[in-house]
Amino acid sequence: MNAGLAAAQTAPDESTVFGSAPMSAASSQVVRDRDLQLRPVARPADVFEVAPGLVVVQHAGGGKANQYFLRGFDADHGTDLALSIDDVPINMVTHGHGQGYADPHFLIPELIERVEVREGPYFAQDGDFATAGAINLRLRETVARSSVTLEDTLVLNPSLIAGMLSNPRFLAIARTDVGRVRGYVAAEVTHLDGPFLHPLDFNHVNVVGRWGARLGASVDVGLTLMSYTGTWNASGQVPARLLGQPYEGRTFSQFDAVDPTEGGRSERHSASLALRARLDAASELRLMVYAASYRLSIFSNFTFFLNDPVHGDQIEQDDARFMTGFRATYRRTASAGAWRFVTTAGATLRYDDIDNGLHHTEARQRLEDLVVDHVRETALGLFAEEQIIPNRYLRLIVGLRADDFNFAVEDARVGLMAPDPSHSGTRQALLFSPKATLVVSPVRHRNLDLDLYFNFGRGFHSNDGRGTVIAATPMLTAQCADPMRVPSGVSCPVTPLTPATGWELGVRARIARRIDLSVAAWLLDLDQETVWNGDTGTTEVAGPTRRLGITVEARAEILRWLWVDVDASFVNAVYRDNPGNANAVALAPPITLAAGVSMRHPNGLFGAVRLRMIGDRPADPSNTLQAQGFAIVNAQLGFRHAWYEVATVVENLFNATWREAQFEEDSRLRGEAVTCPSSNPSCHTDMKFTAGTPFAATLRFSVLWR
């Protein structure tokens, strides 16, 4: 996807600077067009990996939200990473599958103009889920040319007779400028089977329309419409003990599936209206309102026949919601002698009306309703920030954010499963989050710019509303007294908002206007690891954690058309009650690495070779099982002419065997003993994984015109 085509879509006078522009932390940046264009992109979520230290993986089918690893967090599907598009939140609160669920499949990568990366909880503008960080994507305001793109991905699979699977994609972008109104309409149709013996059959359609106009001399307005539908099958997760073993008349491979009826369907339709008004030479007002409807139904089978040896353990998780909200920001600059002041104040409001549930199913047919809830959730946020700049060598930023959440939950089960009054109710929570940043710039020279950063901030993630209203009976209070030893299946009352406190000390240097270096040492304390487990309908509560890490970035322009970059992150994640890592934070990656060489020659040739790596990580709190790391090389090579572009993108260039997503979990296969013998009490426990994509080559051809 994307690459050189995006360059052709960009108006000639737009800034397309390689790399990043520093903001108010050593680990924050704005990644613009050229860096995005030169990265091989095989799926929408790959765009997020421009964030230093972020690794994105996929499991359980092409249409499910990705799994995000950042700053020692297994953010699951988004619990501790705030994702948004033009400030419209992507994360879903009180979601049927998992808190903060962030599905990016409605995005068209070619339409992304820049990526705003803010790692850590130091920024007043970021609210819910912005503990590990926040990433905001910006869509293009307009395109310079219309285009049509045809591509097909051939995926190597030695297990198949044909050896390759075809995965076609069609994209059309039409420029729709009329008079003072500038805009475009884009449509994408994609089919993806992947390398699996039971093809993913992931079919999705995206339509995006965007139009903007200037009203008078000082007001800009913009309208964005987006629509997505997708259906897919899932390969599920392979138990490691089954790999290469006979199972139901076949030798089980990493691309096989225990339950081939897993999968899902999803849709998202949204509209947003933005206004920017320059009130005078020193002040600006921005307003944005949005509304979205969303539906999801996922069929999963994590434990196979562990709980129901007859029908199996397949579940359906569904979520249907309407969400709406707004964001307002006022910004003003002022001077007093040599001193400059930049004042920013804003407000956000979000309302979700949600119906979600959990059902026991067999081959996607419902057998029993386990959880059926109606939830109404409202979140109001107010923030203010003051930048004080006495001279070119010093900048102080202080901020405060206040967030008020209101939850209303109704257990809506009917029939044999009567509603449980203890699981219905209302809850309210208020949290204040102070922020502070000091930037010292001791060197401002033609060949060297040096910035030193000190950051402090408090952030939070909200918890699933259903877990916040559970009545705390005396028996439940006793069971939940020690979060590290909560009995299996027990749903404990949780705090609505989980605070996180972060510190960072960093340095950023720009050398000879060709080399960017950045090092950030940081610490993040999370008050409690709390997750609503949509797979069981219970709240999982663990103790407070601490993450201590170092993030290193380096970017260099070797020639005017050749660049190299390296990002590395080293993290130690532990439970604070068990110093010395006696109790590991499961799936917290200790090492991540991304590196690449990119080029765009004036003759039209462009390309890149990129490495993404994640180290071995603990799979359970006792650190007795390990999730295997991986190192994958992707590449692309293409040529752009005035009216056409041809390119190839290769995933897993060296055809490495790797595990993309991994979990430690109990499961029972058909025919296995119902209970484990005393000689092997953990016979049902092992690693389960989704196999990573083998060698895959995408061929793309685009035609462009005015």
Residue whose C-alpha is closest to residue 286's, from 86, 483, 73, 443: 86
Q: Which two tokens stand for residue 344?
A: 């920013």
Query: Using CA atoms, how far apart are residues 640 and 131, in angstroms rounded to an integer?
Result: 40
Query: Using CA atoms, how far apart are residues 269 and 291, in angstroms rounded to an integer?
Result: 9
Query: pLDDT band at residue 450, thresholds of 50, 70 and 90?
Result: very high
Region 151-163 average pLDDT: 68
Residue 477 makes CB contacts below 8 A (sequence gap 6+) with none
pLDDT score at 681: 82
Sequential DSSP letters for 87-156: TEE--BSS-SSBTTB---TT--GGGEEEEEEEESS--TT--BT-SSEEEEEEE-S--SSEEEEEEEEEEE
Region 66-78 average pLDDT: 89
3-state secondary structure 437-492: EEEEEEEEECCEEEEEEEEEEEEEEECCHHHHCCCCCHHHHHHCCCHHHCCCCCCC
* Residue bearing the bigger pLDDT, 588 or 385: 385
pLDDT score at 22: 43
Residue 50 has pLDDT above 50, yes or no: yes
Residue 16 has pLDDT above 60, yes or no: no
pLDDT score at 14: 33
Query: Using CA atoms, how far apart are residues 245 and 40, in angstroms rounded to an integer?
Result: 36
Residue 221 near residue 275, CB atoms below 8 Å: yes
Residue 128 has pLDDT above 90, yes or no: yes
What is the number of other CB atoms lying within 10 angstroms of the CB of residue 175? 18
Query: Using CA atoms, how far apart are residues 20 and 515, in angstroms rounded to an integer?
Result: 11
Angle at 324 between CA 322 and CA 329, to 5 degrees: 165
pLDDT score at 355: 97
- For residues 383-392, b (16+ Cβ closer than 10 Å) or e, as one string? bbbebebeee
Query: Using CA atoms, how far apart are residues 464 and 78, in angstroms rounded to an integer?
Result: 13
**Residue 6: strand, helix, or coil:** helix
pLDDT score at 18: 36
pLDDT score at 11: 37
What is the number of other CB atoms lying within 10 angstroms of the CB of residue 438? 15
Query: Does residue 439 come out as left (phi exceeding 0), alpha (psi in the -120 to 50 range) or beta?
Result: beta
Query: Using CA atoms, how far apart are residues 275 and 288, in angstroms rounded to an integer?
Result: 6
What is the number of other CB atoms lying within 10 angstroms of the CB of residue 166? 12
Query: Using CA atoms, how far apart are residues 245 and 227, in angstroms rounded to an integer?
Result: 44
DSSP letter, residue 24: S
What rounded mean pLDDT belongs to the chain?
88
Radius of gyration of the chain from its Cα atoms, rounded to whole angstroms: 25
Angle at 694 between CA 692 and CA 700, to 5 degrees: 115
Residue 10 has pLDDT above 50, yes or no: no
Give me the numbers of helices (H) and strands (E) for the chain, helices first please. Answer: 4, 40
pLDDT score at 469: 87
- Judge residue 56's burial from the number of C-beta atoms within 10 Å of its C-beta, 0-12 exposed, 13-18 middle, 19 or more buried: buried
Region 135-156 average pLDDT: 93
Q: Per mean pLDDT, which range of 135-149, 337-351, 480-494, 535-549 is the poorest? A: 480-494
Query: pLDDT band at residue 485, thresholds of 50, 70 and 90?
Result: low
pLDDT digits (tens, 9 = 90+) for 630-659: 999 999 999 999 999 999 999 999 999 999
pLDDT score at 194: 85
Q: Per mean pLDDT, which range of 1-10, 462-471, 508-517, 573-582 is the poorest? A: 1-10
Instruction: Give the range with max mean pLDDT: 66-75, 231-240, 629-638.
Output: 629-638
Tell whether the torsion through CA atoms of 343, 497, 348 and 118 is positive or negative: positive
H or E element that contains 37: helix 33-37
> Which CATH superfamily is 4-470+492-705 part of?
TonB-dependent receptor, beta-barrel domain (2.40.170.20)
Region 127-134 average pLDDT: 96
Show the beta-strand stretches assigned E in 301-424. Answer: 315-336, 339-362, 365-391, 394-411
pLDDT score at 126: 97
Give percent of the chain above pLDDT 70: 88
**Residue 672: strand, helix, or coil:** coil
What is the number of other CB atoms lying within 10 angstroms of the CB of residue 248? 10
**Residue whose tokens read 């407000």:** 347
Residue 281 has pLDDT above 80, yes or no: yes
Residue 430 near residue 404, CB atoms below 8 Å: yes
Residue 395 has pLDDT above 70, yes or no: yes
Distances (CA, A) of 92 to 23, 103, 232, 682: 27, 9, 20, 35
Region 310-335 average pLDDT: 97
Q: How many residues does the chain have?
A: 706
Residue 387 near residue 372, CB atoms below 8 Å: no
The full set of domain ranges for the chain reads 4-470+492-705
- For residues 634-649, b (16+ Cβ closer than 10 Å) or e, as one string? bbbbbebeeeebebbb
pLDDT score at 4: 46
Query: Using CA atoms, how far apart are residues 65 and 282, in angstroms rounded to an integer?
Result: 42
